[in-house]
Amino acid sequence: MKQKWVLITGASSGIGAACAKKLGEMGYNLILTGRRKERLEELANNIKAGETLVASFDLQKPGEIESFCARHEAYLKKLDVLINNAGLAKGNEKVDEGSVKDWDLMIDTNVKGLMHMTRGVLPHMVAKKEGHIVNLGSVAGRWTYPGGAVYCASKFAVRAFTEGLRMDLQGKNIRVTNVEPGMVNTEFSLVRMGSKEKAEAVYQGMTPLKAEDIADTVAWVLLRPTHVNIQEIVIYPTDQAHVGMVHRS
Ligand SMILES: NC(=O)c1ccc[n+]([C@@H]2O[C@H](COP(=O)([O-])OP(=O)(O)OC[C@H]3O[C@@H](n4cnc5c(N)ncnc54)[C@H](OP(=O)(O)O)[C@@H]3O)[C@@H](O)[C@H]2O)c1
């Protein structure tokens, strides 16, 4: 069987790193991207995989995405799967007190970065007449909560983009999936809250999902027969019944 190529954004941590490990073990060739190059190199050196390419760039900067795509066109022509995973939440203030800098960071990364990355890769998949794009949405792209307006708006945008993309690609043999997790214990809360103590409190008394749970789901989605498109999948930890409803012991 031909070894497939997968590009994972945000492979330097959390869900992206777990996807790299899982898909590498399954024999995929990996293109690992993110801003922290040393982390990506360390991961590439320590996981089982086919061939591995590491590329560090900032998804907030369209020019960096463009130059990555131009520089690595030969790899992108072979690409079977794009996992648009990189993203973040920053802050949890109410809108009237929120930081517009944090809002720009979320929108530029979660929405524009994902869209630009997709635009850069997609023509090669269309030419090849096959491919699969997996977006990391969130339950926050389906339901909102206080202090989450802008992060939720960014993930609602990911869901809308995924739906529209699926329609635009109809007949082109390219699958599109939106994976929508609830609480996953990664660096996500540390980035959002800015301190270890505050991040730990998020998961106090409850059992969150692990990054590996989401990687398993992504692997399952990819392994469906090619006539099957898992369009959306919502995964909550058992202790979380809704965005603001968490059982704590
Ligand atoms: N954890 C959760 O509870 C949860 C729930 C639902 C959905 N999600 C979504 O899952 C995805 C992965 O999050 P995670 O939980 O694995 O968080 P994480 O551990 O903080 O990982 C986020 C990844 O995104 C990358 N990234 C952030 N900004 C970037 C930028 N400007 N350019 C390039 N890469 C960037 C980071 O790499 P660098 O810092 O090295 O650039 C890192 O590898 C995100 O889209 C998140 O919204 C998470």
Sequence ranges of the domains in the chain: 5-246
Mutate to test the pocket of ligand 1, among 7, 8, 9, 13 (most ligand atoms within 8 A of CB): 13
237 lines ligand 1 (CB under 6 A): no
Query: Would the CB of 208 count as within 6 Å of ligand 1?
Result: no
Those residues whose C-beta lies under 8 Å from the C-beta of residue 201, and which sit 6 or more positions away, are none
User: Locate tokens 């930890």: which residue?
Assistant: 237
236 is catalytic: no
Helices (H) and strands (E) in the chain, counts: 10, 9
To test the pocket of ligand 1, the residue of 8, 12, 135 to mutate (highest count of ligand atoms within 8 Å of its CB) is: 12
Integer Rg of the chain from CA: 17
Round to whole Å and give the CA distance between 241 and 89.
21
* CA–CA dist 131, 129 (Å, integer): 7
Residue showing tokens 């590439």: 44
pLDDT of residue 1: 54
pLDDT of 49 reads 83
Quote the pTM value: 0.98
Task: Please give the pLDDT value at position 68.
Answer: 98
Which class does domain 5-246 fall in?
Answer: alpha beta
CB 178 less than 6 A from any atom of ligand 1: no
pLDDT tens for the chain, residues 1 to 249: 579 999 999 999 999 999 999 999 999 999 999 999 999 999 999 999 899 999 999 999 999 999 999 999 999 999 999 999 999 999 999 999 999 999 999 999 999 999 999 999 999 999 999 999 999 999 999 999 999 999 999 999 999 999 999 999 999 999 999 999 999 999 999 999 999 999 999 999 999 999 999 999 999 999 999 999 999 999 999 999 999 999 999
The residue among 11, 124, 123, 122 whose CA lies nearest residue 57 is 11
Cβ(162)–Cβ(132) under 8 Å? no
109 lines ligand 1 (CB under 6 A): yes
**Closest of 146, 50, 47, 51 to residue 92, by C-alpha:** 146
CA distance 228 to 207: 32
Rounded Cα gap, residues 56 and 43, in angstroms: 13
Distance CA(160)–CA(200), nearest Å, equals: 32
- Which of left, alpha, beta for 94 (phi over 0: left; psi -120 to 50: alpha)? beta
